[in-house]
Structure 1
Amino acid sequence: MNNNKISKFVNPIRSLKLRVFVVIMLAIIIPALASSIFIVNVTTKNYLNNRIGSFKANNTMLKNNIINNNYLDQSNENIDIVDAQIEQLAKEYNCRIQVVNSRYVIIKDSNNSEKGKTCISENVIKSFKGETVQVDSKSHNYIEFAIPITSTVSDGEGETKTTVIGSLYINYSTADAVDYKDYIVRNVAIADVLVLIFALFASWLCAVMFTKPIKRIGISIEEIAKGNMEEEKDYREVMDISNEFRQLVNKLNTQEKSRQEFVSNVSHELKTPITSMKVLADSLLGQQGLPEELYQEFLHDISKEIDRENDIITDLLALVRMEKSESEINISSVNINEILEAVLKRLKPIAESKNIELIFESFRPVIADVDELKFASVATNLVENAIKYNNTDGTVTASLNSDHQYFYLKVTDTGIGISEENQDRVFERFFRVDKARSRETGGTGLGLAITKEIVMKHHGSIKIHSKEGEGTTFTVRIPLKYIA
């Protein structure tokens, strides 16, 4: 019960449609939010920098007017001009302006609250030392300037002396920058909401469009599984997957057919010797007083059938062992030339009985990593088949060559050959080109199947080239170095 509840919760989360939806949503929203934050910060910073630039320009202009109009000398008739400028700047920029004379007395305050008082501000005192002070208070939304007012006097010897005679203190409010930032944030937030709505719609649309072909793939696979192999027009990727699945089904059907044929062939091949032995035994039992020579003949035939049955079982067990992925293969560095010479020497009596000439062509010495016994079995099967299916007075040629990576064994005969339509089947289990002749020569129909398995275990390949009435050539290619 708990598992069902967990599955109901987990399955939607594992949905491909949901994942596509979330990924596209994040792909749209994250850059949009990052852009929004960037826009807010950059525009606000630029606005504040522009305001500070204006503040500094105003400061310079006011300081120059104070110096040019000798404003610190309150008896000067031009002080009204400077007073008017101070009042205008204070009103326009929402700032407070104070002018402090050399005795630290405030002679002008745009608020008129501290005029005539002594100024003990730290920043003003610093300005009397010739330092221009700027203080930014983001928490209180103001920028404070303390600017030295200087007087330059010539000493009559061509040198000038600069003296601080006062200080200009200005406190600008930056509340408008905060208001501007709020305005930008509101507009960007509206844009983000619109982007979010678009992202929801686009993500849903993309998720539906992305998963729709996958659903069609599922439907196509169901149809193929039902036996409908007709190809439908769709997206190229959908068609490719459907075609690959169709090929897989065909391959599985072929393998199943091959398996059924193999079971049928095994049953037939194992049953044939038993049937022959039963017929021979029944013949002996059904007749009385037969000559001893006839008994000997029948028993000899029964022994041959038993040997044949044993050969089939032995080859079947060998093939099954070879097809196991974990089957043992004992690799060692061996002399391939010596193996082939030993095989040809062992098979020479069989060839001589049919007056067949065995020829060994070695183009160079070959040392390779192989399983010596299994490779000897490959060479034996190929040469023995070449002898069995050859014509009397024919020739069997085994040639050995190599390059920097592989060695090549070619076994060529001048025998009956194999038709083109049967060449792809010669490595099938129990397949025989000429079944009557195969049984006469004692073949089990498994030799080439075992040969191919051994070659494949060595990461090699085996190919056939044949023409009816002219002979057959088997070419084996195996790497010189075995890599597990």
Structure 2
Amino acid sequence: MFKSLKLKLLFYFFITNIIVLSVYGVFIYDTAKKGVLNTTDAELKMISIDVIPDFKKDAYENAKDIADELIDEFSIKPLFVKIIYYDKGSKKIIYETLSSKEYEWLFNIPLNEIGHQGSIYYFDKGSYRVSSMLIFDKKETKVFIQLAIEKNMDSSYLKQLYFGLIIATPILLIVFLIITNMLVNRTLSPAKEVIESVKSISANNLSSRVNTNKIPSEINELVATFNQLLSNLEESFNKITDFSNSASHELKTPLTVIRGEIEVALKQNREPDEYREILRDVLQESISIQKIINQLLFLAKKDTAELKNDFKELYLDEMIAEVLSEMKKFTQAKNGDIIVKKIIPATVHANETLLKIALKNILRNSVIYSQNGSKIFISLDKNDKEYLLMIEDNGYGIKKEDLPFVFERFYRADKARCRKNGGTGLGLAIVKMILDIHHYAIKIESIENIGTTVLIKIPKTE
């Protein structure tokens, strides 16, 4: 009905207050009516007791005379009287008298003849209140007096109370609404602050977060969810930005080379062998571009949570054997060889595809950055807490000052050699990303012109 939360709260509060005040007003008015009724009952009892001394012991009293006396004494009008003489032996009424035959219907009430002397009972008969009291309990006879007077339900007190409630209820509603509006505004102020914080966040400051220090617990989860959404957006935005920057940076050189080769080829007529050589260079650069794009897309598009969903039980020793088989032709192209020093059976919980990519990248680097005919050594061992996967080569090595940066994207320790061998500077960045997803540690030790050792620590599966 209302789109505004504030209006909804005020509306529900308004309806609730109408119900509460109405019930409370009815309760007060009903209590006041009962008070007036109790006053009438007390009055009837007092009159009933007062009339007792006027009764003669050996004669029947006349109800009309008693009524006239009571009206004069108490100034109560109308007042109707009925006197009943009840025989205890026959259990029948032996005599009764009424002050007014016209109002005989008022005394169509139970006699309650088993009551004790002084016991009194009250009855409602339309707008009248009727009492029945046992005033004498003689040896053979019981005498009852029944009185009827109008209930004073139209008293000035009840009228004032009624109109007071009618006037006070709307005033109280208005006052409550004003107070409630102030309280709702104060309660919703944190939500408004959150809205202002959200409005201030744009693509230029996605790292900003909504402060949760003064946020009520009821909306804290919503704010936390929004902050998580911002984190996801920032991560995606950074990936897109990194991809854009990286692509423009890395594709510039091969595209420049391709353009230069084509321009040179078109400057003059050449022999077929020269064209073939140019085409081979263009093809090589095209392959390099394709490799860069594939690796950039891998780094940019992969979602960590999505990749972890593909984890399963994996026999690590069998996976290593498969990778070595797939790398055989690549190694033989440089007359090299991969020698297995030790492989123990090992079972882990991991993503097989990703681990294969990581291991292939490490082995490919070892082969590429080693002399022709070099040997690569691989082993899988364990200690008390983890499996140890080690790859060793006797290649060109890495300078000490370059080691801290080898996992950064597009970092090349030897740029000239990397470009010559088709390196993009992304291989070890991908390795590091894959191992981080698995929570595996990697350590690289290298000495220039001596060789490189890569050690991967894999926690044992519980």
TM-score, normalising length from structure 1? 0.60
Deviations 1:351-388 (A, max 9, x none): 996687644554x5426575x55643343223333554
SS at match of 1:101: strand
Shift in alpha-carbon separation, 1:256–1:64, aligned structure 2, 3 A: same
Q: Which amino acid aligns with 2:151?
A: Y
Determine the structure 2 residue equivalent to 1:100.
83
Correspondences of 1:316-465 after superposition (within 5 Å): 316-317=293-294, 320=297, 323=301, 335-344=315-324, 347=327, 350=331, 358-362=340-344, 365-366=346-347, 370=351, 375-386=355-366, 388=368, 396-398=378-380, 410=389, 413=392, 416=398, 419=402, 422=405, 425=408, 428=409, 430-448=410-428, 460=438, 464-465=442-443
Q: Residues 81 and 441 (structure 1 numbering): CA distance in 2 closer, same or farther, change over 3 Å?
A: same
Q: Does 1:171 align with 2:150?
A: yes
Query: 1:303 and 1:32 mapped to 2: Cα distance?
Result: 87
**Aligned match of 1:306 in 283, 308, 329?**
283
Which residue pairs with 1:126 in the alignment? Answer: 110
Letter in 2 for 1:181: Y
Question: 2:218 maps to which residue?
Answer: none
Query: 1:384 & 1:144 partners in 2: Cα distance?
Result: 110
Residues 160-199 of structure 1 mapped to structure 2, 5 A cutoff? 163=142, 165-176=144-155, 178-179=158-159, 180-199=161-180
Displacement after TM superposition at 1:309 (Å): 3.7
Q: Structure 2 vs 1, CA of residues 389 and 76 (structure 1 numbering), >3 Å: closer, same or farther?
A: same
Between the aligned partners of 2:314 and 2:235, the Cα distance in structure 1 is 42
SS at match of 1:443: coil
Q: CA separation in 2, counterparts of 1:441 and 1:76?
A: 137
Q: For the residues of structure 2 that align with 1:100 and 1:57, how far apart are their CA atoms?
A: 19
**Matching of residue 262 in structure 1 with residue 268 in structure 2:** no
Q: Is the 8 A contact 1:368 1:479 kept in 2?
A: yes
1:149 counterpart (108, 120, 134) = 134
SS in structure 2 of the partner of residue 194 of structure 1: helix
Q: Conserved in 2, the CA contact under 8 Å of 1:150 and 1:166? A: yes
Structure 1 residue 434 displacement after superposition: 3.3
- Give the deviation of 1:259 after TM superposition: 0.8
The separation in 2 between residues aligned to 1:195 and 1:359, in whole angstroms, is: 85
> Partners of 2:286 and 2:338 in 1: how far apart?
28
% same residue: 15
Q: String of CA shifts for 1:109-144, please: whole Å, max 9, x gaps.
A: xxxxx3xx376426534336669765558xx7x452
- Aligned-residue Cα RMSD (Å) equals 5.9
Question: Are 2:243 and 2:296, in contact at CA under 8 Å, matched by a contact in 1?
Answer: no
Do the aligned partners of 1:358 and 1:396 also contact (CA within 8 Å) in 2? yes
Any conservation in 2 of the 1:124–1:169 contact (CA below 8 Å)? no
Question: Which runs of structure 2 are paired with 1:55-66 in the superposition (5 Å)?
Answer: 55-66=40-51
**Which SS does the other structure have where 2:423 is aligned?**
coil
SS at 1:191 equivalent: helix
AA partner of residue 40 (structure 2): F
Distance 1:420 1:33, change over 3 A: farther
Number of matched pairs: 421
Q: Give, in angstroms, the shift of residue 183 of structure 1.
A: 2.2
Stretch deviating more after TM superposition (173-182 or 125-134): 125-134
C-alpha distance 106-319 of structure 1, shift in aligned 2 (>3 A):
same
What is the distance in 1 between the residues matched to 2:458 and 2:47?
101
Q: Read off the aligned partner of 2:290 and give its amino acid letter.
A: I
When the two structures are superposed, what TM-score results if normalisation uses the length of structure 2? 0.63
- Paired residue type of 1:316: I
User: Residues of 1 paired with 2:454 and 2:70: CA distance?
Assistant: 114
Query: Counterpart in 2 of 1:25?
Result: 10
User: Shift of the alpha carbon at 1:338?
Assistant: 0.9
Cα distance in structure 1, aligned partners of 2:40 and 2:402 = 101
For the 8 Å contact 2:387–2:457, the answer to whether it is kept is yes
Q: Say which SS state the counterpart of residue 432 (structure 1) adopts.
A: coil
C-alpha contact (below 8 Å) 1:36/1:188 kept by paired residues: yes
Give, in whole Å, the separation in 2 of the partners of 1:83 and 1:389: 133
1:269-284 to 2 correspondence within 5 Å?
269=254, 271-272=256-257
Q: 1:479 to 1:259 in 2, by over 3 A?
A: farther
Whether the 8 Å CA contact 1:100–1:106 is kept in 2: the answer is yes
- Rate the CA distance shift 1:441–1:47 in 2: closer, same or farther, 3 A: same
**Letter aligned with residue 98 of structure 2:** I
Amino acid in the other structure paired with 1:343 = V
